[in-house]
Structure 1
Amino acid sequence: MNHIIHWKRNFAILWSGQFLAIAGLTLLVPFLPFYMEELGVKTPQEKQLWSGIALAAPAVSSAIASPLWGKLGDRFGRKLMVIRALFGLSLCLCLMAIVSSPLQFLAVRLLQGAFGGIVDASSAFAGSEAPEEQRGKALGSLQSAVAAGSLSGPFLGGIFANIYGFRPLLLTVGIITAIGACAAGFLLTERIRTQTKESPSSEVTGSVLQAFISMFSHSRTRGFLLAGFTANVAVFGLVTPLAPLVESVARKPDYAATWIGFLQAALWTATLVSAPWWGKRNDRFKVERNYRIATILCGISVVLQACVINVPTLLVFRILQGLTFSALIQSVMFVIIQSSTDTNRSVRVGAANSVLVCGQVIGSLAGALITGMFNPSTAFFMMGTVFIVSACCLLQGFVTIPVLSFRANKR
């Protein structure tokens, strides 16, 4: 009974911390070109260049650092990693408020990727502390925190940046995030973990490389990692072509920016509502089935977006995309957590996050390249097809590829 009470309190803190962190990180994203101008960048081409580099930078450092932090979490405790992530993001937000050049801003964004990682830190903590029969629900609800933060951040940024400016806003959010980190330090409770006979010593002392090899050596985890990687390629490949697609179908192109904001709000609202539902389904039904259904529907919705002729129809398909995409990444993490032990859970979650982040980077580049070479409709059609390929990654035999054989206890 006490464990259930502690878990409910833990979950409230995790959800709040993740919401604060995501909202703080996304409040500046749509307005990066304006902040670059404030940092001294003059031409529109340079603003776009620096903004694009700054957006991609955290993904690069996060892909490197996530498994290392995960390894430390397995050794010293996952609560410590949640606190570290929140304090790291707090520090970076405060530093963003005082930088004076785009190069300094880029350096801080790299630090953000390296010392942040609140999503995988929270996932590893929840996967260890949540009751086993509620792990899917917990991960789904944490996914809703990401959606809520992504929805609220740009909205609040647009309002308060005009009133107070970017720098005071970043500093304020950084301080609030630091308060959240202190709350996590005082209120989060973590069970004392003991090594059991089912947890061989090699699982404790295994390297990050061993975590990668172990996951790719098993067909189920390999399939979900490839599926998640492919899904991230697809969803981030849609970022660049969205604006020109809206401009091409809007009857009044001057209102395209307003429509884009409305479409993004609808997408994240649908994700916020549906993510816990998919999490509960993962607790009750086979994850592979849920993933296939969600991914195929998501892919169809994206392909149909390539064919729309007006914005209201595009809105309907964006909502369907949000309702189904919310199932994907949480399902990947659910399987990774299921396949782990209490002594290697964090490093496996971190390693999985690195794979997913690589998909994010490749998708962003591919989306921009396809849009530039062809048109936004072609990019949407191709990315919808990639979503459907993601579902195929879980078909029997599809992921039976030559891999290095590895046993965790082999030296």
Structure 2
Amino acid sequence: MNPGMEQRRNFRVLWGVQFISTAGLTVVVPLLPFYLETLGVFGEENRWWTGLSLSAPALTLILASPFWGKIGDRWGRKWMVVRAVFGLCLSMLLMGMAQTPWLFLLFRLMQGAFGGVVDAAAAFAGSDAPPDKRGRTLGSFQGATAAGSLAGPLLGGLLADGYGYRVLFFLMAALTGISGLWAAKALTEPRTGIERKRKPVPLRQVFAGLWGSRSTRSLILAGFLAKAGVFGLVVVFAPLVRDLSGSPAYAATWVGGLQAVTWGATFLGGSWWGKRNDRSSPERNFFFASLACGVCVGLQTAVHHPLWLLPLRLVQGFCFSALLPSVFLKVTRSSPEEVRGSAIGVTNSFLVLGQIMGSFSAALISGWLSPDAAFLFLGGFFLTGALLMVRLPRHTLSRSPGLPPLGMEQAAGGVNRER
């Protein structure tokens, strides 16, 4: 099989695997309070355990992501994707078997320790996709995440009511396991010409390389703020819609419909922004997308009926699809092949830290002040990310994608000395 056919097949497999994995994860999240009730947790204790269970995978993923990226740099990208998928499969199987909240929490922590499919797929695509199509590829993967986020809750609601929560866990574990077998059989290791089995570059050296480039550092910080903003919105969006709807009986319908609109727009926007990233700088596209997200989030406090949220959520979802792929594309371009997995792993840990910060800060602000104040605060995250792009030198915003990678000379030099 020629390289072009291999790359197209790899893309289809990675897209499918990311879709199934995301659907499996988002099936679980909305139903956590109900599942914990089957484990004997009710009332205020249920809310505490729900929050703890939601944040648990992120805590271990922060630590595990750079480690798995480093392993991938040494042993190859394919098996890191397979490892992440089978780790998720095993975690969901065990979560479905848990009999106590403590065991369930342990298996949620294990889920994060196995690493994420998103960063494994990004590292694979960064090595496999042609340089002039990496933006489109990473943008399409954001579309797969959006499609999975749209399908997961819908599937979960239908199956949980008919068959129960444990059966739902087992079914999604089985689907994820099948996708892992598909990846193991169909994925072809990227042809990079790099010798894998060698002494690895220390992670602190990789971090210093990323942080040494002003443009890369600024885009990672802006991605951190974007991740904080979008996960903070998860906390405060439903209360705002409930207040606007005027009837708690219809609030859930409005929340579900508006979330569907947002993820549908993200699905449509991924490839569009990806093509733009291939033609121009990701910093420039991040600026416009983050600015639009910040404005749309702030304006959601000014409407008086949920219907007016529809266009704002549509634009927000479309523009959000540009943000994280732009960060991963910048890191891919700024890191040599020898340390690309480590660089993406370090970046992903930083982004997950933003996820945790956003959720907790939104909960604190909405509790002290109001959901409106929290929306304005979270909109400020996106606007600050856009401001970080404005402060970059003009030549950075117009740099051609074909120029050599910047900011990782230390890491590359370390590899060259070890050869």
Q: For the superposition of Structure 1 and Structure 2, which TM-score range results when normalised by the shorter chain? A: over 0.9
Alignment pair present for 1:322 and 2:317: yes
Tell me how far 1:205 sits from its aligned partner.
2.8
Q: How does 1:247-326 map to 2 (within 5 A)?
A: 247-326=242-321
Counterpart Cα distance in 2 of 1:66 and 1:306: 36
How many matched pairs?
A: 400
Describe the superposition over 1:128-163 as per-residue Cα deviations: whole angstroms up to 9, x where unpaired: 001111100100000101001111111100001000
Percent identity over the alignment?
46
Q: 1:16 to 1:358 in 2, by over 3 A?
A: same
Among 238, 243, 249, which residue is 1:243 paired with?
238
- Whether 1:208 and 2:203 are equivalent positions in the alignment is yes
Residue 352 of structure 1 pairs with residue 352 of structure 2: no
1:24-35 correspondence to structure 2 within 5 Å: 24-35=24-35
Counterparts of residues 367-406 of structure 1 (less than 5 Å):
367-396=362-391
Runs of 4+, deviation exceeding 4 Å: none
- In structure 1, how many angstroms separate the alpha carbons of the residues matched to 2:159 and 2:275? 36
10-19 vs 234-243, which moves further: 234-243
Alpha-carbon distance change, 194 to 4 in structure 1, aligned in 2, over 3 angstroms: closer
Q: Distance in 1 between matches of 2:243 and 2:391?
A: 41
In structure 1, what is the Cα distance between the partners aligned to 2:123 and 2:392?
A: 29
In structure 1, what residue type is equivalent to 2:382? F
Match of residue 188 from structure 1:
187
Alignment of 1:140-159 (within 5 A): 140-159=139-158
Aligned to 1:401: none
Cα distance between partner residues in 1 of 2:7 and 2:350: 29
Residues 250-304 of structure 1 show CA distances to partners (whole Å, capped at 9, x for unaligned) of 1323211111111111110110111111011100112111110101011000000
Corresponding letter in the other structure for 1:31: L
- 1:192 CA drift (Å): 4.3
**Which residue does the alignment assign to 2:19?**
19
Per-residue Cα deviation, 1:34-90 (whole angstroms, up to 9, x for no partner)? 000001112x21111111110001111001000000000000000010000010000
Alpha-carbon contact 1:213-1:406 (below 8 Å) kept: no
Q: Amino acid of the residue matched to residue 21 of structure 1?
A: S
The 1:254–1:195 alpha-carbon spacing in structure 2 relative to 1, beyond 3 Å, is: closer
Instruction: Give the superposition deviation at 1:396.
Output: 3.1
- Which has the larger displacement, 210-219 or 321-330? 210-219
Structure 2 residue runs without a partner (length 5+): 394-407
Which deviates more from structure 2 when the two are superposed, residues 68-77 or residues 110-119? Answer: 110-119
Q: Which amino acid aligns with 2:47?
A: Q
Report the alpha carbon displacement of residue 336 of structure 1 after superposing the two structures with TM: 0.3
Q: Quote the Cα distance in structure 1 between the aligned partners of 2:110 and 2:373.
A: 35
Corresponding residue for residue 67 of structure 1: 66
CA distance in 2, matches of 1:397, 1:289: 10
Q: Does 1:362 align with 2:357?
A: yes
Secondary structure of residue in 1 paired with 2:389: coil
1:337 aligns with 2:332: yes
Separation in 2, partners of 1:390, 1:193: 33
CA contact (8 A) 2:73 2:200 kept: no
TM-score, reference length from structure 2:
0.92
Amino acid in the other structure paired with 1:153: G
SS at 1:161 equivalent: helix
Measured against aligned partners, the alpha-carbon deviations of 1:350-369 in whole angstroms (never above 9, x if no partner) come to 00000000000000000000
Q: CA deviation at 1:193?
A: 3.8
Structure 1 contact 35–166 (Cα < 8 Å) conserved: yes
Cα contact 1:216–1:222 (8 A) shared by 2? yes
- Matched ranges for 1:54-133 at <5 A: 54-133=53-132
**Alpha-carbon contact 1:67-1:347 (below 8 Å) kept:** yes
2:91 and 2:274 mapped to 1: Cα distance?
Answer: 31
- Cα distance, 1:234 vs. partner? 1.2
User: Which range is displaced more, 383-392 or 350-359?
Assistant: 383-392
CA contact (8 A) 1:78 1:125 kept: yes
**2:168 maps to which residue?**
169
What is the CA-CA distance between 1:406 and the residue it aligns to?
Answer: 9.0
Residue 116 of structure 1 deviates from its aligned partner by 3.5
TM-score (norm 1): 0.94
Per-residue CA deviations over 1:345-394 (Å, capped at 9, x if unaligned) read 11100000000000000000000001000111111111112210011112
**Which is further off, 363-372 or 186-195?**
186-195
Q: Find the residue that maps to 2:205 and give its secondary structure.
A: helix
Give the whole-Å Cα distance in 1 for the aligned partners of 2:190 and 2:91.
Answer: 30
- Residues 249 and 23 (structure 1 numbering): CA distance in 2 closer, same or farther, change over 3 Å? same
CA distance in 1, matches of 2:233, 2:336: 36
Q: Deviations over 1:184-240 (max 9, x none)?
A: 1111001344348xx9x8xx6311121112111111110111110111111111111
Instruction: Name the amino acid aligned to 2:207.
Output: F
Counterpart of 2:376 in structure 1: which amino acid?
F
2:32 matched to 1:37? no
Counterpart-to-counterpart distance in 2, 1:225 and 1:378: 26
**Which amino acid is 2:24 matched to?**
G
How far residue 307 of structure 1 moved from its aligned partner, in angstroms, is 1.2
Q: Distance in 2 between matches of 1:406 and 1:116?
A: 27
How far does residue 397 in structure 1 lie from its aligned partner after superposition? 5.6
Q: Is the 8 A contact 2:140 2:271 kept in 1?
A: yes
What letter matches 1:127 in structure 2?
G
Give the AA of the match of 2:104: F
